[in-house]
A = this chain, B = another copy of it.
Amino acid sequence: MGTVSKALSLLAHFSCDKSEIGLSDLTRLSGMNKATVFRMMSELQQSGFVEQTGADRSYRLGPQVLRLAALREAAVPILSVSRQVLRDLSDEVGETCHLSLVQGMQLNSLSHAYSPRHATKVMLEDAEVLAFHATASGLAVLAYSNTAFIDAILTSPLSSHTPDTITQPGKIRAQLDQVRTCGIAESIGGFEAEVHSHAVPVFGPDCQPIGALAVAAPASRMTAAQKDLIPQALHRAGASLTHSTGGMPPASYPVFTKT
């Protein structure tokens, strides 16, 4: 593993609940020598990717990532285009909606819209990492991914997030087949207990999924009417988002019909 990759892997340790990390913690998390971590973080800091903060001099992500994200959005405006789609969908179905993007072997939930209709709602952390096998979003993406990607995901460790998480590759493959028949993935309590989620893939110009659009609701609120409304609204919103960002679904993606 090259020096650049090692340095960048340090940035992967930051998360929503770990926004500031000290030198010794980074040393433990990364398994690298403290002097090595120190030197790499110093270079990342000089380049603006991290900055030191507080009396204990811990590190956090720096302002340069905002600039690069703005440039990325200028080129591929997936987040800004999705914002209105998420708001409209959330208003229509009255539940939490979110967009997740595939980033390597990871699925990151990057944009959310919350409905004011209920005080109790499913909340997601910023840049939350979702498990492919345990979430509707992940299953939606996998169902339309190439075989090599599916194999890679299903041969990596599949952790149990709740007692309801399906972790056997055979059963997951059967779930993927089910997604392919109707174009929507569904997960009940697979990632978060008592959360019922639906998701559709969002496709790029190469007909490969770049992410997923999902509705997440407390299972107790899934009435027959909601079970009818959510798939239809989600399918339309997903198609709209794919289209708005210059993507196109594969020929095998089903045109939605009422269940």
B-chain residues with CB within 8 Å of residue A102 when the two chains form the complex:
63
Docked-complex contact A103 and B2, CB < 8 angstroms: no
Docked-complex contact B65 and A69, CB < 8 angstroms: yes
Q: Is A84 an interface residue (CB 8 A)?
A: no
B-chain residues with CB within 8 Å of residue A39 when the two chains form the complex:
2
Q: Is A43 an interface residue (CB 8 A)?
A: yes
- Knowing A43-B5, A103-B48, the reply to whether A72 touches B76 (Cβ < 8 A) is no
Closest to A71 in B: B127
**What is the CA–CA distance of A108 and B16 in the complex, to the nearest angstrom?**
25
Closest to A205 in B: B53
Docked-complex contact A61 and B71, CB < 8 angstroms: yes
Q: Considering only CB atoms and an 8 Å cut-off, how many residues of chain A contact the other chain?
A: 49
B-chain residues with CB within 8 Å of residue A5 when the two chains form the complex:
43, 46-47
Q: Is A237 an interface residue (CB 8 A)?
A: no
- Knowing A48-B104, A101-B63, the reply to whether A74 touches B4 (Cβ < 8 A) is no
Closest to A49 in B: B8
Q: Is A92 an interface residue (CB 8 A)?
A: no
Chain A interface residues toward B at CB < 8 A: 2-5, 7-9, 11, 14-16, 19-20, 39-40, 43-44, 46-49, 60-76, 78-79, 101-104, 108, 110, 125-127
